[in-house]
Structure 1
Amino acid sequence: MRILYLLFPLFLLLAQGAAGSSLAPGNKAQCHRENGFCAILKCPFPYVISGRCSKFLFCCKRIWG
């Protein structure tokens, strides 16, 4: 029974962390709000894919900030 007192707070912490786990932009407006731009199928060199704008458009953001 003593272990339940330890497991319950651990479970609550895990559930809280899982609530906001998807931080990648999901549409064009979110991408632009986070200083990114939408590109077709891949990003040019100094940028990396950080989410999706639509089915074939990816959100690109700078690697170093």
Structure 2
Amino acid sequence: MKRFFSFFSKTESVKLAIAPDVLAVLVEKGELHATDFRCLDLGSKQIVWKMFLSLAVAKLCDRQTRHT
């Protein structure tokens, strides 16, 4: 994989558009973390914030049902 990246000049970021459901799957699987990206507009930030809040609630509920 390192050889592949050697063809490109060093850049700070790559700008992408990704469907919210695809982003949610990547985050839920632990393949992408909140520190790996930043939102470029308020609407996107609100969607991501709600996504992480929802995933946190789901994890807490799952933990509670396993321990009861």
Q: TM-score, normalised by structure 2?
A: 0.30
The structure with the larger Rg is 1
Q: TM-score, normalised by structure 1?
A: 0.31
Structure with the bigger RCO (C-alpha within 8 Å, sep 6+) is 1
Q: Which has the higher strand share?
A: 1
Q: Which has the higher helix share?
A: 2
